[in-house]
Amino acid sequence: MRLPVVIVLLAAALTAAPVAGPASAAPPRYLDAGAPVEQRVADLLKRMTLDDKIGQMTQAERAPASADPSMVTKLRLGSVLSGGGSAPTPNTPAAWVETVNTLQKAALATPLKIPLLYGVDAVHGHGHLLGATVFPHNLGLGATRDRGLVRDVYAATAEETAASGVPWNFSPCVCVTRDERWGRTYESFGEDPSLVIEMEGAIDALQENGVLATAKHFAGDGDTEFGTGNGDFTIDQGVTVTSRKDFARVDLAPFVSAVREHRVGAVMPSFSSVDWTEDGVGNPVKMHASKELITGYLKHRLGFDGLVVTDWEGIHQLPDPSVPATAPRPTPLQVRTGVNAGIDLFMEPTSAPRFVTLLKAEVTAGRVPMARIDDAVRRVLRTKFRLGLFEHPYAEAGEVGTAEHRALAREAVAKSQVLLKNTGHALPLRTDSRLYVAGRNADDIGNQAGGWTLDWQGRSGRDTIPGTTILEGIRAVAPDVTYSADASAPIGKDDVGVVVVGETPYAEGFGDVGAPPWPTGTAAQKEKKLLTLQPGDKKVVDKVCAATGTCVVLLVSGRPQVVTDQLPVMDALVASWLPGSEGAGVADVLFGKRPFTGRLPVTWPRTTAQVPINVGDRSYHPLFPYGWGIRT
C-alpha cells in the first residue's frame, strides 16, 4: 500500500531562512536529514528556550487551535489532536489535510520551526472521517485469531489515517478485558493476555506504514473492579485491585511485548488506578501519577524510549486536597505530579494555555526539575525525527474507503463471526429460502459500527456512514426477503427467521453496565445498558422463533449478551460483535460463501451473576467457554 505523497520539504524552507548564524553558515545539525536521530535531538534541545520546551510538552484540541491558529505559534505547541467527533467541515480528507497543514504552518512560524504532531483515535479504521473504511472493533478482530489479517486491517487504517494528513493514531488498545460490564470491552482483543499479545502486529502495521502507534491504556483499565471508581465512574476509570504478580501476568504483559517486541512509539496511561492487595493499605494510585510504573517500570525497566502521552485531561483527575473541587483544572499540584511521574506530552484539549503557564511556574520554582523537562522534550523530538516530520511536515489528501479496503473489511467481518449454536444444520442458509428478517440491528449501520464512529459515542442510523447493513448484505444474495424491524409484519409458515438484535452505540463510561446516570448525553446514550437483551429485542426473538421452523439469531454487540433463557428457541446463534461498515461480510458466512471460523475472544457467561468470568477461573461453568466456535 502506498502512503499519500508529502510536499514542501521543511529543509528547503529553512535553507532560505536559517535559524541562526550568518547567511553563509551551514544549516543547523538538527536539520541534517542524514545525521543520526540522537545527534539531531541533542542539537535542537540545546537551542530551545524553556518556552519552546514546555510548548513541545503540550497538546491542544483541533477546535480551539483551528479557531485561532496563532495559539500554536504563541504557545509553541508540540501537538494537536482531534477528539472524538471533532472533525473539520466538510468532513473530507481534503478538509482534514487543510486543517492539519494550516496548523503545521503555524508551528513552522516559531523561531526553531519545530513541526507539529497531529493525533486521532482511529481505533477501528479512521472512524471519525466520513467515507473511511470502518473495520470491526478489536474484540471482533480477536475472534478471528488471524494475525496476518489484523496486520492488514491496521495497515489499511494507517493508509487512510495518513490520507487525512494525520501521522499519529491513539491505538491499538492492548488492554485485557476481564469484566463484560466494562463499557470499553470491545476495544480489547480479548480476555487472555496471550491473545492480546498475539494481535500486537497491529503496532507494526501502523508504524511500518508511517503512522505512530500508541499502546493504551497503561495499565489495567480492563481489569478494574465494579463499583470502585470515583464519582460517576464505576468500571471505567475505576480501580484495579490486584497483586503485583497478577498485575504483571494479566495487565502489564501486553505492554512488555508492545515495547520490547514491537517497539511501539507512544504509550498512553489509563484513567484507572491500581491498588496492590499485598501492600494492605487500600490506597489506590492513579496511573497518571504512578512514577513507579511510568518511569520505573515502563521507561527504566522496559527501556521504552518513545513518548508517554496523557489521556484526555488525564491529570485533571489526580487528587488535589489543597483546592476546592470547583477550582480550575489542571491545578499546579496536578501538573507537577504528572510531569514528575514521567509523562512527556499532556493532552489538554481546552486548557493548553493554563497548562503552559502552570508548568513554567513549577519549573521556575524548582518543583519540576529541568532534567525531567529535557527528558520529556527529548522523547517528543525523537518521535518527530523518526516520523520524518522535519523533512515532510505537510501532506496531501489521499483516497479512503477504497474497494480494496472495503473488501478487506468484509473479509475481517466474515472471519470475526462466531457460531455459538447450530442445531439441525440451520446454517448455512439457502439463498432460495423465504427469509423473514427482523430486529432493530438488521438495517442500522450505526448500530453495527458502534462507538468511535463519526462521534465519540457513535450514532444510530441506517445511513450514518457509507457501507452495507446486514440486511443489505442478505438481500444481495437472497431474492425473497421480508423485513420487519419489530416483527409486526405477517410471518409466513415456510419462512426462515433471521433476527438481528443486540446493543446500540456507546463508548467509555456511557457503556458501563450498572453505572449511575451520566449528567450529559443523548437519550440513546443514557439508555440503560444491560448484559441481557432489551425487552424489545426479547419480544422480537420470541415472536419470530415461535412462528418459524428455523430461527437464526445474530447478536450485534460490543460484548457477550446473556441469552441463556432465550437460547432454547434459537436454532442458531451467532456472535456478530460490531462489524463496522461492511455488513455483507455477515451474509457471506450466513449463506456459506465463507465458512464460520471465528472463536470466542472472551468467555460467554451463563448468568449475569457469573460476571466477571474468565478462562482459568477456579469455578468455570460458562454458557460458552473461551475459544468456543462451531466451524462450518
Q: What is the CATH number of domain 6-395?
A: 3.20.20.300
pLDDT in tens, 2-18: 444 333 333 333 333 34
Helix, strand or coil, per DSSP, at residue 318: coil
Angle (CA) 75 78 83, round 5°: 100
pLDDT value at residue 397: 97
> Which of 146, 311, 344, 362 does the annotation list as catalytic?
311
pLDDT value at residue 24: 54
Q: Tell me 33's DSSP state.
A: T
Q: Report the alpha-carbon distance of residue 454 to residue 42 in Å, rounded.
A: 40
pLDDT in tens, 337-386: 999 999 999 999 999 999 999 999 999 999 999 999 999 999 999 999 99
Q: What is the mean pLDDT of the chain?
A: 93
Q: Select from 409, 401, 404 the least CA-distant residue to 588.
A: 409
The yes-or-no answer on residue 311 being catalytic is yes
Distance in Å from the first CA to the final CA of the chain: 33
pLDDT in tens, 511-527: 998 765 544 555 555 56
Q: Are 431 and 424 in contact (CB under 8 A)?
A: no
Question: In 10 A of CB 631, how many CB atoms?
Answer: 10
Q: Where are the alpha helices (DSSP H) in 298-402?
A: 332-341, 352-364, 370-387
Domain with CATH 3.20.20.300 in the chain: 6-395
Q: Are 211 and 158 in contact (CB under 8 A)?
A: yes
pLDDT interval class at 187 (50, 70, 90): very high
Q: Are 581 and 465 in contact (CB under 8 A)?
A: yes
Beta bridge partners of 174: none
417-610 classified as CATH 3.40.190.10:
no
Distances (CA, A) of 324 to 2, 286, 289, 338: 53, 19, 20, 19
| Predicted structure pTM score | 0.94
Which range (32-46, 63-77, 271-285) has the least confidence?
271-285
Which range (226-230, 306-310, 466-470, 514-518) has the least confidence?
226-230
The half-sphere exposure of 180 on its side-chain side, counting CA atoms within 13 A, is: 24
The single-letter code of the amino acid at 140 is G
pLDDT in tens, 18-65: 444 445 578 999 999 999 999 999 999 999 999 999 999 999 999 999
Which range (4-13, 134-143, 286-295) has the least confidence?
4-13
Beta bridge partners of 484: 438
Grid coordinates 488492554 are at which residue?
Answer: 175
The yes-or-no answer on residue 508 being catalytic is yes
Domain with CATH 3.40.50.1700 in the chain: 417-610
> Is 24 exposed, middle or buried (CB count within 10 Å of its CB: 0-12, 13-18, 19+)?
exposed
> Which of 180, 225, 251, 508 does the annotation list as catalytic?
508
Helix, strand or coil, per DSSP, at residue 549: coil
pLDDT value at residue 526: 52
pLDDT value at residue 604: 98
pLDDT value at residue 514: 75
Strand 58-61 relative to strand 79-82: parallel, antiparallel, unpaired?
Answer: parallel
pLDDT in tens, 437-452: 999 999 999 999 999 9
Once rounded to an integer, what is the mean pLDDT over residues 307-320? 98
pLDDT over 90 (residue 230): no
The single-letter code of the amino acid at 160 is E
